[in-house]
Structure 1
Amino acid sequence: MTQRTWLITGVTSGFGRHMTEQLLARGDRVAGTVRRMEAMNDLKAKYGDQLWLAHLDVTDTPAIHQAVNQAFAELGKIDVVVNNAGYGLFGAAEELTDEEILHHLNTNLIGSIQVVRAALPYLRAQGGGRIIQLSTYGGQATNPGASLYHASKWGIEGFIESTMKDVAPFNIGVTIVEPGGARTEFRYGSARIGTKIDAYDASPASMTRRFIEGSTHLPIGDPAKMAKIMIDSVDQNPAPERIVLGSDSYNAIHKALTERLAALEAQRDLAFSTDFPVDH
């Protein structure tokens, strides 16, 4: 088994924690960014220098560059960069404050963009590497009551899909991971909900609010299994462009793409009608 060095944002919980635990157990090195250092005391005590940690708020662009620069300077070659840090913001668009919107986009979208931008010069200089971007089925399909969450995920998927074409000549593989619901802290820990507006009780947005606020439904996805698939994907060459994880994710994306393609094909003649004639 090839031993690698990984840089992972947001390792204190969720997929970041699961990946870190599995990687350390198999002998890889992990450079992890955290909001709370104490949350990693157990792994640091067990693995010592095999686990490198830096405090980072991914809404702070200069701090992102400082942390990435420091990780490469102290650890040398980093084989895989995993953009994992993020959270869900739910509610109808007008139920969210300006501050909530900006913080959410700065975390999920701008933060992920800046991590990639900070890492790319090093990956190019060392002759290649991998980038894994955590997204969700919500990067290709939508639910009511999640407009800003979808905005962040559709945005980062567009950025990453374009970037993977830009960096392919440098032997840098890029993968977008689209999990469905998983039994992590995402729903009951990090997810945030906007202030309720009663008028939306009559809107489908209220269904998402009730689902997030409820405590009876367990997501179907096993985060440990999902983390292992993400880790194992680095052995695939070329890198898979997307990895869909969970039956709920597969079903939602399949439905969305099928409906979108049917709607596009129905407009073929209309689209072609706006071209200049071939001989002009």
Structure 2
Amino acid sequence: MVKTWLITGCSSGLGRELAEAVAARGDRLVATARSTDSLQSLCERYPETVRSVALDVTRAGDAAKAVALAEGAFGGLDVLVNNAGFGFIGAIEEGQPDEYRPMFEVNVFGLIETTRAALPALRKRAGARIVNLSSGAGIAGSAGFGFYNASKFAVEGLSEALAEELRPLGVSVIIVEPGPFRTAFLGRSMIAAGREIAAYAETVPARRHYRETNNGRQAGDPAKAVAVMLQAVDAEHPPLHLPIGPRAHAIAEQKLDCFRADIAAWRDISIATDFDTHN
């Protein structure tokens, strides 16, 4: 069945790769970015099935215009992909509000408002999907990524609650949790704290070094990641959590092992907290 998609952040990275794949397979697409200049070639190659519109997820009203375009041009909306976002490197003490707050505006609040704008249209379509781009960083926290971890943990919690709300309505939520893929994420989509504090020399600089030495060298093939995403969207029973790539799976497995170990070690003490008598 031909689907109508709305994807945020289509100028580059996984968003662009997904937009190309969606258009190539014959689905209808509203491709968005803060500037539509980068989307012109995509529209020219697929003039019947692709439309573009400027969408800054932090700007009030932009998401509603994109949804209206999907409904006006293609008669509805089947899949929303919240892909727009960026990362931040720095210790919690190093980060300044004017550095990390804009990331939350995009990664969390922008995703929320885009989703809210799209929900009335999605609820009209049986089998609709919402795909929220999280990260391996949304599964487990790590030194130097704390602010980015927090933004993606928020996406995870919001998505899990949204999935419960929408399940009776026939709309599914998929949380995509990619590991490192060869996109511009470590370049133009990653910023770093403007100051470095020597006390964190044993932990945080490793993140900065990783960025400097791995940008453009990541092992993950974006086309293969997108193929997994498409398969999940098309599945009759899509997964709620979808780690993609060996690194993401390793992070998830380690997190589960550590979580279970903590629970088991403290179980007898930590569950003995009810009143001794029940009224």
Same-fold call, TM > 0.5?
A: yes
1:157: Cα distance to partner?
A: 0.4
Q: Which amino acid aligns with 2:207?
A: T
**Structure 2: which 5+ runs fail to align?**
none
Report the counterpart of residue 211 of structure 1 in structure 2.
210
1:45-84 equivalences in 2 (<5 Å) = 45-84=44-83
Instruction: Give 1:208's aligned amino acid.
Output: R
- Alignment partner, residue 191 of structure 1: 190
1:128 Cα deviation from its structure 2 partner: 4.3
1:82-121 correspondence to structure 2 within 5 Å: 82-121=81-120
- Report the counterpart of residue 241 of structure 1 in structure 2: 240
Secondary structure of the corresponding residue to residue 242 of structure 2: strand
Question: In structure 2, the residue corresponding to 1:187 is in which secondary structure?
Answer: coil
Show structure 1 runs of 4+ deviating over 6 A: none
Per-residue CA distance 1:210-267 (angstroms, 9 max, x = gap):
2113357821211100001101212212221111111111111111111012102222
Kept in 2, the 8 Å contact 1:9–1:16? The answer is: yes
- Quote how far apart the aligned CAs of 1:184 are: 0.6
Structure richer in helix, relative to its length: 1
Name the amino acid aligned to 2:10. Answer: V
Asked if the contact 1:183/1:219 (under 8 Å) is kept, the reply is yes
State the partner residue of 2:141.
142
Identify if the C-alpha distance between structure 1 residues 221 and 278 changes in structure 2 by more than 3 Å, giving closer, same or farther: farther
Displacement of 1:201 in angstroms is 5.0
1:215-226 equivalences in 2 (<5 Å) = 215=214, 218-226=217-225
Q: Equivalents in 2 of 1:94, 1:234: separation in Å?
A: 39
Taking a change above 3 Å as real, the CA distance of residues 39 and 216 of structure 1, as seen in their structure-2 partners, is: closer
Greater mean alpha carbon deviation, residues 241-250 or residues 215-224: 215-224
Bigger mean CA offset, 23-32 vs 65-74: 65-74
Give the whole-Å Cα distance in 2 for the aligned partners of 1:275 and 1:207: 44
Per the alignment, residue 262 of structure 1 pairs with 261
- Give the AA of the match of 2:188: G
Number of equivalenced pairs: 279
Aligned to 1:26: 25
Deviations 1:91-124 (A, max 9, x none): 1123222122211001001111111111111122
Q: What TM-score do the two structures reach when normalised by structure 2?
A: 0.94
TM-score using structure 1 length: 0.94
Change (3 A) 1:107 1:90: same
Secondary structure at the counterpart of residue 214 of structure 1: helix
**Alpha-carbon deviations, 1:166-198, whole Å to 9, x = none?**
110111011101110000111122111111324
Cα root mean square deviation, aligned: 1.7
